[in-house]
Structure 1
Amino acid sequence: MLAHIGSDMKIKVLYVITKSDVGGAQKYVHDLATRLNREHYRVSVLFGGDDIYWLSNKTYPWLLFFNDWIAVFELVFAYRSKRPHIVHLNSSKAAIVGSLAGFLYNCASRRKYRLKIVFTAHGWVFNPTNVVSPPVRLLYRVLHTIAAFFQHSIITVSEYDREIALRYRIASDKKIVTIHNGIDPDMLFLDKDTARKKIVKKLPTTNYRARRIRQLAEKSQLPTNTFWVGSLGRLTREKHYQLFIDLASHFPHLLFFIIGDGPEKNRYQACITHHQLYNFFLVPSTGEDSQFLLAFDIFVMTSVKEGLPYALLEAEAAGLPSIVTRAGGMPEVVQDQHNGLVVPQRDLQALSRALALLTDDQELRIRFGKAAETIARTTFHIDSMVASTEAIYTSLASNL
């Protein structure tokens, strides 16, 4: 199989990712790096800012992208030091910078085989529904098209993203393959009562209703029939949690929660305060937020741009009925009227109707929840994701 590197030698895979903080791409890299077959693979990971100092999502066009050019040469030296057989890039910036670095490395290398470049797109920046401006989308479309010349395989985490890449002619259909994100369906969740108590302890004391809920929890008198609607995720513009906040104003008798942190936290909190929403709470992330999912009766995601969110897969594994917007790969997970409801983006009326339907129909919630568990276990299993990715590595290694 490995004619040039020796059949008894392990394939060295180097993962490169822009940020080391918690997010979908970071979880993806962690899962692959820890689950690849150690008999066949040797794995290392480089993080932007930590290992590759100048690799970041920051861009300085008025300074001729000086940080990105420095990152390119940092990566060239890293490739020379690590001497991987395959470099697997994650995030748009890592894809562009890392692919150019791979090309330069191959040009300068005297080795018999060429470094192979794999890129996983966790949702395209040039997605037409993304919140960035049209010029930025066009710039990334051009850059990804150029980078694709140096990439040997492109993985998309949803069919939606693959179709976008083909529509914009980023690369040929032979180079682009869809491998859905996967999770361990046997992951552990706290029971409903414990999860709710732990969430309540994190609520701010500045909110009157939050103080009242905390007092009831401390006395073990937290109402069990109160309906909780929740979401997990980074507080970013593309998650469009503004719609979720607006939804809460139409259902004052329900409690709404987002567990997560991010750059838009202060703006969302200001909006909650401005509208005097005493039934909406932002809960700080613990880094292991999926354990709290059973606290919720319904899971909601209101994104305008997604890849294939792990939080949604985890909600499916928890057996929660879900309401999601038609963004990215989410409709590939939530099949409308089967394991949840799918609504148009930015449509408050449709979202309100969906929530009203689920809150009023317990049998429907139960049916959706059972179907969700089945889908998580059969279609989005982590073992399938790892095996499909290993198949790509093996194919590339056979041509070394």
Structure 2
Amino acid sequence: MESDSLRILHCFRSPVGGIFRHVRDLIEYHHKAGHKVGILCDSTTGGAHEDALFDGIRPYLDLGLTRTPIRRSIGPSDLVAFVKCTNEIKKLQPDIIHGHGAKGGALARLIGSRLRVSRSRVARFYSPHGGSLHYSSGSLSGKFYFLIENLLERFTDGLAFVSDYERKAYLDKVGRAAPPNRLIYNGLLESEFEDIRPANDAADFLYIGMMRRLKGPDIFIEAVARAEHIVGRPLTAVMIGDGDEKESYRQMLDHSGLRERVTLHPAMPVREALRLGKTVIVPSRAESLPYLVLEALAAGRPLLATSVGGIPEIFGEGSGALVPPENVEALAGAMAKAVQQPHEIEELMPQKTALQTRFSASRMANEMAEFYRDRLA
């Protein structure tokens, strides 16, 4: 196995949400396949929940865990992070440096290119996971980020996309002269396809995710209030997650009079969270291929979501479980139906066997390792 073993380093900014989940699964499977794997990420984000997740994968991190301050926005501190990370990574002698998200992708490719000046054969990979692709190509911010993405292509050996939506968005916004790329869907563990039943006192609706505008917590709160008017009685909900904007949503609940019926909880394991609500709601303004949707469906939980990013690739185009983004009225109507006619909502969910075949963590890890080897060759 040693002759086929790769030294793989994953680089990303924040150890929170889908990117961290994606990396953890790759690390576990690649370690078991005989590869040596490590992580480079930000040291200022994450909390007790993320610390516990790091503890769970430490036995697989042969190349260690390197954490240093990495800011979300571009600034002078990036130069400090670049120099410090380059010195650390050079000692690890990776064959693969895989950047995830816009900031992680930039650092990984620039550091990998600096190592190649020293005659390292490291291959540089990038997975956007949405990231800068959420910007409009017509906005000044979008033009700036897409210019940077375009410039970084010359330092990229492979692009790995987690959804066809993401791949098309990249080609449309960044440019069609892209490096070799592959579509490799996010995947789940076999154990995650076991059904989860809601608790006896489960709320009507459940929001799980980061507390930031992109994920639509404000839309969720407004939709709960509107669904109450449609149904004609009080409804309950649980919101689970952390983020800098969490206090603003707490205040929004106070102002809307929902505070007693909508409770806020810190981040927790998804399968534990799924017991707290009857219908999962994903009100995002933008997504790539969210793990939450896969996790909820694999656990047999009914789910309503906005038709953004790669979500239609999971449900199929035109699914009745999907509503237009930022449309509170449409989402509230679907939520009211979930309360009044739950069996009709359940019938809209994809078949679990099809999900298990298409969105498998082992398949994801195998396809990624194959892509690494192809580009190294």
Q: Same fold (TM over 0.5)?
A: yes
Q: Is the 8 A contact 1:335 1:342 kept in 2?
A: no
User: 1:202-351 maps to which residues of 2 (within 5 A)?
Assistant: 222=201, 228-252=204-228, 253-277=234-258, 278-286=260-268, 288-335=269-316, 341-351=321-331
2:237 and 2:277 in contact (8 A); partners too: no
Once superposed, which parts of structure 1, at least 4 consecutive aligned residues long, lie more than 6 Å away?
A: none
Report the Cα distance in structure 1 between the residues aligned to 2:161 and 2:226, rounded to whole angstroms: 37
Letter in 2 for 1:234: M
Question: Are 2:198 and 1:192 equivalent residues in the alignment?
Answer: yes
- Which of 72, 94, 98 is matched with 2:104 structurally? 94
- Where 2:68 maps in the other structure, the secondary structure is coil
Q: Deviations over 1:281-330 (max 9, x none)?
A: 222222x1332314422211111121211111111111122211122111
Distance in 2 (CA, whole Å) between partners of 1:358 and 1:335 is 19
**Given that residues 231 and 301 in structure 1 are in contact (C-alpha distance below 8 angstroms), is that contact kept between their aligned partners in structure 2?**
yes
Letter in 2 for 1:360: Q
The equivalent residue for 1:118 is 125
Q: 1:210 is matched with which residue?
A: none
Superposed, which structure 2 residues align to 1:143-222 within 5 Å? Answer: 143-170=148-175, 172=177, 175-187=180-192, 191-193=197-199, 222=201
Partner Cα distance (1:69, 1:52) in 2: 16
Residue number among 121, 127, 135 corresponding to 2:134 in the alignment: 127
Indicate the larger mover: 320-329 or 372-381.
372-381
Aligned residue for 2:53? none
Aligned-pair distance for 1:12? 0.9
Q: How much is the aligned-residue C-alpha RMSD, in angstroms?
A: 2.5
SS of corresponding position for 1:393: helix
**Code of the aligned partner of 2:25:** D
Q: Say yes or no: does 1:51 pair with 2:56.
A: no
CA contact (8 A) 1:13 1:44 kept: yes
Relative to structure 1, the CA distance from residue 289 to residue 129 in structure 2 (aligned partners, 3 Å threshold; closer, same or farther) is farther
Mapped contact 1:18–1:94 kept (Cα < 8 A): yes
Distance 1:263 1:143 in 2: 27
CA 44–37 in structure 1, closer or farther in 2 if over 3 Å, else same: closer
| C-alpha contact 2:206 2:280 (8 A) present in aligned 1 | yes
Residue 187 of structure 2 aligns with an amino acid whose one-letter code is: G
Cα pair 1:307 1:329 within 8 Å, conserved: yes
Quote the Cα distance in structure 2 between the aligned partners of 1:174 and 1:128.
Answer: 21
Unaligned runs of 5+ in 1: 1-5, 61-65, 197-221
- Look up the equivalent residue of 1:361 and give its one-letter code: Q
Q: Distance in 1 between matches of 2:72 and 2:169?
A: 22
Are the aligned partners of 2:304 and 2:334 in contact in 1 as well (CA < 8 Å)?
A: yes
Greater helix share, structure number? 2
- Residues 363 and 48 of structure 1: is their aligned pair in 2 closer, same or farther, counting only changes over 3 Å? closer
| TM-score after normalising by structure 1 | 0.80
The worse-fitting range, judged by mean Cα deviation, of 231-240 and 326-335 is 326-335
Aligned-pair identity in percent equals 22
Conserved 8 A contact 1:185-1:376: no
Aligned positions, number: 349
Using the alignment, how far apart are the partners of 1:42 and 1:186 within structure 2?
25
Query: 2 CA distance for matches of 1:57 and 1:283?
Result: 25
- Give the Cα–Cα distance (whole angstroms) in 2 for the partners of residues 169 and 321 of structure 1: 36
SS of the equivalent of 2:374 reads: helix
Matched residue, 2:114: 104
Q: Could you say if the C-alpha distance between residues 243 and 367 of structure 1 is closer, same or farther in structure 2, counting changes exceeding 3 Å?
A: same
CA distance in 1, matches of 2:317, 2:114: 47
When residues 184 and 160 of structure 1 are mapped into structure 2, their CA distance, relative to the original with a 3 A threshold, is: same
Shift of 1:243: 0.9
Q: Amino acid of the residue matched to residue 392 of structure 1?
A: F
The residue identity in structure 2 corresponding to 1:323 is: L
Q: Who is 1:202 aligned against?
A: none
Partner of 2:12: 17
User: For residues 143 and 337 of structure 1, do their structure 2 counterparts lie closer, same or farther at Cα, with a shift above 3 Å needed?
Assistant: closer
TM-score by length of 2: 0.85
Amino acid aligned to 1:30: R
Query: Hey, what's the Cα distance between the residues in 2 that align with 1:170 and 1:46?
Result: 28
Per-residue deviation, residues 201-260 of structure 1 (Å, max 9, x unmatched):
xxxxxxxxxxxxxxxxxxxxx5xxx76111210111101211110011123332122111
8 Å Cα contact 2:205-2:279 kept in structure 1: yes
